[in-house]
Amino acid sequence: MNTEPTVVTMPSQSDDSGTATGSFLADSATSIVSPLSEPLVDVQGLGKRYGDFQALADCRLQVQRGEVFGLLGPNGAGKTTLMRCLLGFLQPTSGRATIGGYDCWSQRTQAHGLLSYMPAQPQLPRLLRARDVLRFFADIRPSRISVDAGSGSAGQSSAGQSSTGQSSAGQSSAGQRYERACQLADRLQLDLSRWVALMSTGMRQKLAIAATLCADVPLVFLDEPTANLDPDVRSQLLQELAGLRAAGATVVFSSHVLSEIEQVCDRVAVLAKGRLVGLTDMRQLQRGSVISGVWTAEQPPAIAAENASGWQWLEAGRFKWLTPQPLEEVLPELLRGGVCDLRVQTMGLLDVYHQHLAYHGPASDEGSGA
């Protein structure tokens, strides 16, 4: 296996031809140094069309091992479609996606050996008791996944990846998984003797969390996992996620709650109208600033043209600029150009989110193909 550090450039948005362009935050370089040679999740030009409706178009992203990756976007943006394509529930109409080298559609069973998933509204067998549900999810995984389980492409492209994934996947026995699920259920204050049919929505969500997290897999998909949870359990779940990250697991996390995303994610992808419109590195986001003010000079500043994707003109010469650059580099230039009423704030995910959507709105309209 190639262990040389490689530079992986993350396309933060795509133009209509599907070519990766620069980051929305043009100067917030999305090139990160990956400690491993290949990503765990690799999405290449993935698209899903229902008749005339393009639910997902030309999505390209990579999720590295050990990172917590957030999916953000308004309702109907394509987050769940992307996740369902990755899970092999939907057949992509274009492009392909792999998990640990396994094709998400044609080799989905092998890919599922590397992952665990909790849907947005988890439904569990209602005619079972909670403990039977946990027993089912603990027993359903093989104790050890065969190294040869993957077919050709997995073996060719990332045999090392696959074996790496498998080395941490499914090592525990069913008994250990059940034990772990029971412990987690206990921490979530769940009564395992209750019938699922008699549980509240929140309790079922807790049960689903225990069933999902009991599997020791390298990749966990969570689709809005904190919906229906009370604040205590929510924070407990976020702690569990932190524990997963500490253990080296990769988490793909979808949520509408920005504070949670900010709290747990390393990188965030923003989707709108079926397109990936932005990709933000949370470490760089924390170093970034939101600068606003009123431009008094007649000529627009050169800096605005250079940073078109982060620069937003508001009314009457007022502007807003999201920049990851150090303030000591940019403020003098702005002040020289004639800015008044200058305000500087720490950049938040909400700023980036709005900016991504505002910047990419027209393009996504064209690309929706509806």
Q: Which residues bind other proteins (CB under 8 A)?
A: 80, 84, 87-91, 109-110, 112-113, 115-119, 121-128, 132, 135-137, 139-142, 145, 170, 208, 211-212, 221
Q: How far is the CB of 277 from other proteins (least distance, A)?
A: 22
251 within 8 A of 339, measured Cβ to Cβ:
no
Please name the amino acid found at residue 296.
T
Q: How far is the CB of 168 from other proteins (least distance, A)?
A: 14
- The whole-angstrom separation of Cα 17 and Cα 9 is 18
Report DSSP letters for 123-138, one per residue. ---TTSBHHHHHHHHH
Q: How far is the CB of 145 from other proteins (least distance, A)?
A: 7
- Total count of residues recorded for the chain: 370
Q: Taking the CB of residue 342, how many other CB atoms lie within 10 A of it?
A: 12
How, if at all, do strands 311-313 and 318-323 pair? antiparallel
State the DSSP H helix or E strand holding residue 159, giving kind and residue range, or none if neither: helix 152-168
Q: How far is the CB of 264 from other proteins (least distance, A)?
A: 21
Q: How far is the CB of 368 from other proteins (least distance, A)?
A: 19
- The whole-angstrom separation of Cα 78 and Cα 66 is 24
Identity of the residue, 213 or 339, whose beta carbon is nearer to other proteins in the bound complex:
213
Identity of the residue, 208 or 322, whose beta carbon is nearer to other proteins in the bound complex:
208
Q: How far is the CB of 81 from other proteins (least distance, A)?
A: 9
Q: How far is the CB of 249 from other proteins (least distance, A)?
A: 15
Identity of the residue, 143 or 286, whose beta carbon is nearer to other proteins in the bound complex:
143
Identity of the residue, 212 or 323, whose beta carbon is nearer to other proteins in the bound complex:
212
Identity of the residue, 145 or 349, whose beta carbon is nearer to other proteins in the bound complex:
145
Identity of the residue, 8 or 128, whose beta carbon is nearer to other proteins in the bound complex:
128
Instruction: Indicate the angle between helix axes 201-213 and 174-187, nearest 10 degrees.
Output: 140
Q: How far is the CB of 82 from other proteins (least distance, A)?
A: 12
With 0-12 / 13-18 / 19 or more C-beta atoms within 10 angstroms meaning exposed / middle / buried, residue 227 is middle
Identity of the residue, 131 or 275, whose beta carbon is nearer to other proteins in the bound complex:
131
Identity of the residue, 185 or 322, whose beta carbon is nearer to other proteins in the bound complex:
185
Q: How far is the CB of 208 from other proteins (least distance, A)?
A: 7
- The whole-angstrom separation of Cα 270 and Cα 58 is 14
Does the CA dihedral 143-119-71-186 come out positive or negative? negative
Characterize 302-329 residue by residue with b for buried, 16 or more Cβ atoms within 10 angstroms of its Cβ, and e for exposed. eebeebebbbbeeeebebbbbbbbeeee
Sequence-separated (6 or more) residues with CB below 8 Å from residue 293: 318, 319, 334, 339, 340, 341, 342, 343
Identity of the residue, 211 or 271, whose beta carbon is nearer to other proteins in the bound complex:
211
336-338-341-342 Cα dihedral, nearest 10 degrees: -30
Of 356, 238, 267, 360, the C-alpha closest to 41 is 267
